[in-house]
């Protein structure tokens, strides 16, 4: 069945436009060059340009204007307020980011940088998720996709990192909990890089379940091992699924089948959020997914959201740095969100990541079983009141 899809986008996010190396900090540049040479041996450091560039969004938007998806509805996000951001980030971090308005330069040696309009772009990116779930909560529609930058999943409570200033998906999840009253929120981060910021923010909290599938350490940011499952009340609410480079569509489909769907059925979220990075695409040179894989993942997530949370599903762009890959993958994803059936899925004859996913599923089986017991227990308590 075809469905309407809300698309949140604002051209002011194109104003975030850092460039090149930071000549004021040659030691930072040297550290980043070493990291790039290690992770991307074929890359040319002489022609390096800031990867998180405006063309990431224009490639997606131009494709959607040229080939509209039935049911797509464009909306402008509202900038996140200081109070909304403070549910996730420290006062000191917010003051630091605000101090960067109108400035340019790198913030650290891991490539995070700003230009004069970056903070406005970041407020819009963080506000897009809030705008989307507000619309869904009010009954406007049930599916939304946020075309945003800078991305967010590496930003922690007090630190900008990995191109990220604010943690967009965490801001949305906290708004859903504290303002809209959703008691259980689930996040699947399928970006190729571990969402270390999202993990840090929710690591001790039992009302946000995070599944994170990503390239295994030491790939950037070097975190997200199987053993990182939460702490305190949040123990068992973080399910990391690390896999090797070269993994493809079958690996990520196994993540859904063996971890995401069982965990969602056990946890029974009232809202599902997806950190939708498209850097597993083969054109980003590390993994081997393509647009058919992302379309299939989205189709499965739509069915899961229909099953467990009355269709409430919001996807937010994270990584993905090849314009063609972004255009193809985002367009295929939006078609699936709108109810277009996936015609076929390209699968490698041998996908080495599948064994890693099976191992992760075995490792997390007890945590998923515990989620089910707690969920059933909470219902029993509620019925007796």
Catalytically annotated residue among 89, 93, 154, 300: 154
Map the chain to HEC letters. Answer: CCCCEEEECCHHHHHCCCCCCCCCCHHHHHHHHHHHHHHCCCCCCCCCCCCCCCHHHHHHHHHHHHCCCCCEEEECCCCCCHHHHHCCCCHHHHHHHHCCCCCCEECCCCCCEECCCHHHHHHHHHHHHHHHHHHHHCCCCCEEEECCCCCCCCCCCCCCECCECCCHHHHHHHHHHHCCCCCCEEEEECCCCCCHHHHHHHCCCCCEEEEEEEECCCCCCCCCCCCCCCCHHHCCCEEEEEECCCCCHHHHHHHHHHHHHHHHHHHCCCEEEEEECCCCEHHHCCCCECHHHHHHHHHHHHHHHHHHCCCCEEEEECCCCCHHHHHHHHHHHHHHHCCCCCCCCCCCCCCCHHHHHHHHHHHHHHHHHHHHHHHHHHHHHHHHC
Catalytic residue check, 154: yes
What residues are annotated to the active site?
A: 154
């Amino acid at each position: 069945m075809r469905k309407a899809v809300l698309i949140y986008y604002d051209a002011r996010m194109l104003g975030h436009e850092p460039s090149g190396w930071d000549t004021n900090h040659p030691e930072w540049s040297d550290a980043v060059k070493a990291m790039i040479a290690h992770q991307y041996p074929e890359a040319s450091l002489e022609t390096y340009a800031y990867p998180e560039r405006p063309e990431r969004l224009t490639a997606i938007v131009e494709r959607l204007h040229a080939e509209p998806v039935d049911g797509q509805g464009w909306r402008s996000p509202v900038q996140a307020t200081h109070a909304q951001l403070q549910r996730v980030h420290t006062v000191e971090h917010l003051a630091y980011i605000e101090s960067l308005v109108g400035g340019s330069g790198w913030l650290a040696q891991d490539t995070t940088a700003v230009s004069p309009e970056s903070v406005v772009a970041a407020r819009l990116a963080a506000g897009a998720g809030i705008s989307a779930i507000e619309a869904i909560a009010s009954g406007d529609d049930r599916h939304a996709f946020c075309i945003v930058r800078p991305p967010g999943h590496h930003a922690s409570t007090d630190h900008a990192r990995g191109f990220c200033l604010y943690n967009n998906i965490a801001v949305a999840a906290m708004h859903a909990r504290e303002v809209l009253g959703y008691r259980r929120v689930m996040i699947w981060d399928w970006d190729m890089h571990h969402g270390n910021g999202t993990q840090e923010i929710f690591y001790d909290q039992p009302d946000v379940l995070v599944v994170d599938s990503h390239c295994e350490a030491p790939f950037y940011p070097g975190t997200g091992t199987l053993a990182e499952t939460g702490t305190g009340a949040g123990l068992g609410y973080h399910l990391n699924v690390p896999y090797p480079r070269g993994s493809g569509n079958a690996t990520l489909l196994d993540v859904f089948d063996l971890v995401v769907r069982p965990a969602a059925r056990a946890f029974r979220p009232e809202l599902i959020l997806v950190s939708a990075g498209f850097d597993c695409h083969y054109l980003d040179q590390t993994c081997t997914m393509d647009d058919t894989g992302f379309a299939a993942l989205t189709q499965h997530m739509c069915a899961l959201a229909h099953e467990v949370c009355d269709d409430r599903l919001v996807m937010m762009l994270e990584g993905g740095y090849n314009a063609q890959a972004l255009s193809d993958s985002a367009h295929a994803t939006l078609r699936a969100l709108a109810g277009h059936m996936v015609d076929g899925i390209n699968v490698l004859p041998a996908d080495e990541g599948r064994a890693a996913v099976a191992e992760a599923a075995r490792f997390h089986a007890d945590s998923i079983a515990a989620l089910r017991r707690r969920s059933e227990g909470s219902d029993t308590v509620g019925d007796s009141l």
